[in-house]
Amino acid sequence: MYRYLLPVIALAATVSSHCTRQGLTEAVDSYLTAQTSGQTTEFKARFDNSTWLGYYENAVKKDISTGIINTPLLVTHNKTLLDTVNCMTYTEVIANDPKDPHTIATQLKFANHKVNRVDSVVVKPGDWLFNITGYSYWVTQEDWSEIPPEKRDTRDVIKKAADAYLDLFNNPNTTVPWGTPCVRLEGGLYGNPGPNGTCNVGVPSGVPIGNRRYVVDETFGAVDVLVDFGNSKWPDSHEFRIVNGKIRYVHTMTHCGIPNCGMRC
């Protein structure tokens, strides 16, 4: 009779053998090493070529050999979210090099414990409110520490908070779980970091935000969403920190290819 149990055990093992924080972290380290050195061989050895979906920069599919990952960048900050349910990662990369400043928002997607999509928003001077000094400084002033297990929001709460914020741009009647304070870091421009700081300022209307790709990490109460921003579908990353169900920080990077996205500040 035991032999009938074996397939059940095998199935359970398959179902539970999804990605681990350690496995995802190793791949992200490999990605960062590549971006720091410009050497991609070791990173590419982690690709699942049989299910390969592509290397994307600013929503354009490219041959990885033509990507920014081949250019060594002085990486001065990195922060990663790990999504062990969807087997994806998000990394916020800052290269605060006065000679070649960038911020990069990269999601890695996995299949069979290997990377099968690289999806980056790559931002540099001229992009929306870009200010490497501001971006580099303000991230050090925020608390993105791990949230104690008993205080963690569910994935659903975290994702819904992000969706409410993104929906607000196209429907002013959306109820958003604003935290107090809530501060937005937009390109490099920072909101009011004081006790009354609010993110409910400067939100335009009539701006649909579509093609949302989520990476949720409950341990940090955080979610990154890569999106097509507005009717022009600008490649954009919105990352949120949610504490007790409320939005505390929003980090945005937007690439539009024309200075400040053609807008005046």
Q: List interacting residues with ligand NAG (CB under 6 A).
A: 32, 36, 44-45, 47, 49, 75, 78, 131, 133-134, 137, 171, 173, 188, 190, 194-196
Least separation, in Å, of the C-beta of 3 and ligand NAG? 35
Nearer to ligand NAG, 44 or 155 (CB): 44
Q: Which tokens hold the place of 236? A: 């954009």
User: In this chain, which residue has its C-beta nearest to ligand NAG?
Assistant: 134
Cβ neighbors of 244 (< 8 A, separation 6 or more) are 151, 153, 179
Q: How do strand 178-186 and strand 189-190 relate by DSSP bridges?
A: antiparallel
Nearer to ligand NAG, 179 or 188 (CB): 188
Tokens 């700081």 appear where? 197
Amino acid making up residue 72: P
Least separation, in Å, of the C-beta of 10 and ligand NAG? 25
Instruction: Kindly report whether the peptide bond that precedes residue 195 is cis, defined as omega within 30 degrees of 0.
Output: no
Tokens 């200075």 appear where? 259
DSSP string, 216-232: EEGGGTEEEEEEEETTT
Q: What is the dihedral angle through the alpha carbons of 193, 197, 198, 202, rounded to the nearest 10 degrees?
A: -70
Nearer to ligand NAG, 206 or 257 (CB): 206
Q: How do strand 209-217 and strand 222-229 relate by DSSP bridges?
A: antiparallel
Nearer to ligand NAG, 112 or 244 (CB): 112
Nearer to ligand NAG, 7 or 194 (CB): 194
Least separation, in Å, of the C-beta of 125 and ligand NAG? 10
Least separation, in Å, of the C-beta of 2 and ligand NAG? 37
Nearer to ligand NAG, 7 or 195 (CB): 195
Q: Angle at Cα 169 formed by Cα 224 and Cα 129, nearest 5°?
A: 65
Q: Which tokens hold the place of 109? A: 């997607």
Nearer to ligand NAG, 131 or 252 (CB): 131
Least separation, in Å, of the C-beta of 173 and ligand NAG? 4
- 198 touches 192 (CB < 8 A): yes
CA nearest neighbour of 68 among 262, 209, 255, 259: 255
- 74 touches 96 (CB < 8 A): yes
Least separation, in Å, of the C-beta of 1 and ligand NAG? 41
Least separation, in Å, of the C-beta of 77 and ligand NAG? 7
